[in-house]
Amino acid sequence: MKLDAAEEIKRFAEFFEQEYIKELVEIAAKGKHSVGVDFAKLSRFDPAIAEHLLNEPDEAIRAAELGVEQLDILSETKNLRVRFFNLPGTQYLMLRDIRSEHIGRVIVTEGLVRQKSDVRPQVVSSRFECPSCGNIISVLQLDTSFKEPSSCGCGRKGKFRLVSKQLVDAQGIVLEEAPEDLEGGEQPKRMNIFLKEDLVSPISDRKTNPGTRISVVGVVKEVPVILRSGSKSTRFELLIEANSIASVVEDFYDIPITREEEEVIKGIAADPDVYTKLTSSIAPSIYGYREVKEALVLQLAGGVQKRYKDGIVSRGDIHILLVGDPGAGKSQILKRIGVISPKGRYVSGKGASGAGLTAAVVKDEFLGGWSLEAGALVLANNGICCIDELDKMSKDDRSAMHEALEQQTVSISKANIQATLLARTTVLAAANPKFGRFDPYGIIAEQIDLPPALINRFDLVFPIKDIPDAERDDRIASHILHLHKSPDFEDVEIDSGLLRKYLAYARQNISPVLTENAVKEIKKYYVEMRNTNTGEDQATRAIPISARQLEALVRLSEASARARLSPRVTKRDARRAIDLLNYCLMQVGIDRETGKIDIDRLSTGIPSTKRAKIFTLKDIIAEMEVNTKSKMIPIEELMREASEKGLDEGEVEDLIEKLKRTGDIFEPRRGFVQRM
């Protein structure tokens, strides 16, 4: 049944007067430009106009806007837009299921924002003057091409003068299906979404940042494809003109928390055993790894980002690297953290490239020219990016991560685009040892096959060793078999939903400040660690920790306070951070020859003992040059001299090769070396 237009406008006016009078008064007072309407309320009020909205949305939406204008309350607010939400489930469609039959119909769809254009003005109506009779002709600009009037009432055709035009802000975004909505080998489909007016206001603009998952209510439209010859193609492109948008996945700072949930969260924080509860809830299906799970709690809570007066920003995000034997549960931990974190992304080794992690410049078919397409680290801004099989990535692709890990930005300078994207992303990475499995008798640092510059950017590095132990193996087997026997069994203190809200509440409301006691504790540990080897030679002394580890201690201490919802970082928080850092350093930074912690094993790849031997060998070469009055030194004589100074033959061969690679010496002819 076709509704009469005047009757429909009248019914909409009655609906707004009955259901939305308070909201309209508030909108008029605040000068807003749109009103949100719950479809369920409209359907209860008048099923006929609700049905008309689903089948003929353009007409129904215009009638609703004219109905609002009829109310005296909005005399100052003309052209108020009506935004519908909470449509029935029958209107929900995946992007891949949109067909020609849906053109002109209102639908609801979801996806990830992949690209976003700049906001630009668009003409919605224009007024022309007839030069012959002076008549003013109004033309609505509904299509993509600009239209002029074809004729005037006086009989004139063409060449009308443009008097005025009404412009509105417009923007295009590209929506892509989310990975979790796909099956098997399906490739995610994309759709162009057209936004205008209040949907591109600065407040709404945040909802449509690349990487955000949004729900769109809109009308499917067809767009003509223009061929190179200038004529229209028989093929048309599809586009959704958005009526309303809503965020589906928020980051930690956007998760809504009710008053009741807040009370439960405060109750958990008041428990003196709060850390045990949080740690046991992180990955309940994985047995053990207490220190790793405690570190993951601190990573999810995060430190406090600081901006200094000179413009330098100190990151608050804590990066963690897990290096372990196959089957130790690393990937399971990563997947679990990706679930708990509201903006979690999971990528894996060979399937990730440098551009896929940071950003790529792509040819933009929809909006013209070139545009930036954000990678995983940028899309997970204010969330967590879990990178599995880090060692399987190519060297060039790994190097793209350096800036994102420390400066938390991604700089692009390609195809005439110079841009710096924000990547305030926490990184949890996993890798396998160099030979697939740890050698229990070898030095762990030498078995981590990652560049020192990259390892140094992680606050904590955990080696996960799978060594047979009858008692521990019995407990692990019992735990795994019990899970397989009863998959629904979940013995966790805090379930995933509440844990996510707890961490979100901590991030939103708690910004801990260091107390004097915490500062003293961290400072004491740092100074003592740095000066344990005071009797040794200044140039070759082992450096247990550097300023990078000092900053990591501050971040971990702040995260410890935040995890228990405390506004102050106490001495106990500092001790928790120190214990965790010490645990990692004792595992990966210990020098077997001296029995002391040496951070150079990780940060440079050369421990202080080897550095001392390199200096000794260089001194021997310099002395032999003076004694023999020749620049070419026979390797045999060099070996003899070195053995007298306490260096064995195998070590000298290794050191000569290292010096050749660094360019300090070269081999002018077989059996001789010479300094550069």
DSSP secondary structure, 216-228, as one string: EEEEEEEEEEEPT
Helical ranges in 510-589 per DSSP H: 516-530, 547-563, 571-588
Query: Which is more confident, 228 or 611?
Result: 228
C-beta atoms surrounding 536 within 10 Å:
14
Average pLDDT, the chain: 76
Q: What are 414's strand-pairing partners?
A: 417
Q: Are 665 and 673 in contact (CB under 8 A)?
A: yes
DSSP 182-200: --TTPPPPEEEEEEEGGGG
Residue with tokens 């000066």: 531
Among 129-143, 337-351, 549-563, top mean pLDDT goes to: 549-563
Length in residues, the chain: 676
Query: Which is more confident, 454 or 3?
Result: 454
What pLDDT is stored for residue 302 in this prediction?
81
Query: In whole angstroms, what is the distance from residue 501 CA to residue 12 CA?
Result: 39
Going by pLDDT thresholds of 50, 70 and 90, the confidence category of residue 393 is confident
Query: In whole angstroms, what is the distance from residue 599 CA to residue 546 CA?
Result: 7
**Per-residue buried b or exposed e for 331-350, using 16+ beta carbons within 10 Å of the residue's own CB:** bebbebbbebbbbbbbbbbe
Mean pLDDT, rounded, for 478-494: 67
Q: Is the pLDDT of residue 675 over 60?
A: yes
Query: In whole angstroms, what is the distance from residue 473 CA to residue 478 CA?
Result: 9
DSSP structural state of residue 75: S
Query: In whole angstroms, what is the distance from residue 217 CA to residue 195 CA?
Result: 11
Going by pLDDT thresholds of 50, 70 and 90, the confidence category of residue 354 is low
85-to-68, 155, 427, 452 alpha-carbon distances in Å:
17, 47, 36, 52
Query: In whole angstroms, what is the distance from residue 136 CA to residue 229 CA?
Result: 35
What pLDDT is stored for residue 539 in this prediction?
44
What pLDDT is stored for residue 609 in this prediction?
58
Q: Render pLDDT for 434-479 as a digit per residue (tens, 0 to 9).
A: 766 666 656 666 677 777 777 778 888 888 776 666 766 676 677 6
DSSP 320-363: EEEEE-TTSSHHHHHHHHHHHSTT-EEEEGGG--HHHHSEEEEE
Query: In whole angstroms, what is the distance from residue 505 CA to residue 342 CA?
Result: 12
Query: In whole angstroms, what is the distance from residue 104 CA to residue 240 CA?
Result: 10
Give me the domains of the chain, ranges plus CATH numbers.
5-86 (3.30.1640.10), 103-249 (2.40.50.140), 259-591 (3.40.50.300), 608-675 (1.10.10.10)
438-to-303, 465, 487 alpha-carbon distances in Å:
32, 7, 31
Query: In whole angstroms, what is the distance from residue 523 CA to residue 502 CA?
Result: 31
Query: In whole angstroms, what is the distance from residue 589 CA to residue 444 CA?
Result: 8
Return the half-sphere exposure (C-beta side, CA atoms, 13 A cut-off) of residue 129.
Answer: 6
Of 174, 172, 247, the closest CA to residue 214 belongs to 247
Q: Are 338 and 380 in contact (CB under 8 A)?
A: no
Going by pLDDT thresholds of 50, 70 and 90, the confidence category of residue 541 is very low
Query: Which of helix, strand or coil describes residue 429?
Result: strand
**H/E stretch holding 168:** strand 161-176
Structure tokens at 18: 């009955």
Structure tokens at 318: 């804590």
Query: In whole angstroms, what is the distance from residue 429 CA to residue 352 CA?
Result: 13
What pLDDT is stored for residue 440 in this prediction?
62
**H/E stretch holding 276:** helix 274-282
Query: Which is more confident, 389 or 140?
Result: 389
DSSP structural state of residue 181: G
Going by pLDDT thresholds of 50, 70 and 90, the confidence category of residue 295 is confident
Query: Which of helix, strand or coil describes residue 589?
Result: coil
C-beta atoms surrounding 221 within 10 Å:
19
Query: Which of helix, strand or coil describes residue 496?
Result: helix
Q: Is the pLDDT of residue 75 over 60?
A: no
Query: In whole angstroms, what is the distance from residue 208 CA to residue 229 CA?
Result: 36
Mean pLDDT, rounded, for 353-364: 70
Structure tokens at 219: 């009308």
Query: Which of helix, strand or coil describes residue 626?
Result: helix
Mean pLDDT, rounded, for 301-306: 82
Mean pLDDT, rounded, for 550-577: 87
Mean pLDDT, rounded, for 576-584: 85
Q: Is the pLDDT of residue 537 over 70?
A: no
Query: In whole angstroms, what is the distance from residue 175 CA to residue 212 CA?
Result: 10
Query: In whole angstroms, what is the distance from residue 298 CA to residue 384 CA?
Result: 13
Q: Is the pLDDT of residue 232 over 70?
A: yes
Query: In whole angstroms, what is the distance from residue 313 CA to residue 236 CA?
Result: 48
Residue with tokens 């206001």: 201
Query: In whole angstroms, what is the distance from residue 403 CA to residue 35 CA?
Result: 43
Q: What are 194's strand-pairing partners?
A: 172, 241
Q: Render pLDDT for 105-144 as a digit per residue (tens, 0 to 9).
A: 888 888 888 777 777 777 777 888 888 787 777 776 656 6
**Percent of the chain having pLDDT more than 70?**
79
Q: Render pLDDT for 625-670 as a digit per residue (tens, 0 to 9).
A: 777 777 777 777 777 777 777 677 767 777 777 777 776 777 777 7
Residue with tokens 């405060």: 266
Mean pLDDT, rounded, for 487-512: 76
What pLDDT is stored for residue 76 in this prediction?
53
What pLDDT is stored for residue 369 in this prediction?
60
Q: Is the pLDDT of residue 403 over 70?
A: yes
Going by pLDDT thresholds of 50, 70 and 90, the confidence category of residue 495 is confident
Of 218, 297, 347, the closest CA to residue 499 belongs to 297
What pLDDT is stored for residue 538 in this prediction?
46
Query: Which is more confident, 449 or 316?
Result: 316
The pTM assigned to this predicted structure is 0.70
Mean pLDDT, rounded, for 90-98: 83
Q: Are 53 and 60 in contact (CB under 8 A)?
A: yes
What pLDDT is stored for residue 540 in this prediction?
42
Distance of CA 657 to the CA centre of its chain: 42
Q: Are 107 and 92 in contact (CB under 8 A)?
A: yes
* Angle at 592 (CA atoms; ends 587, 595), nearest 5 degrees: 85
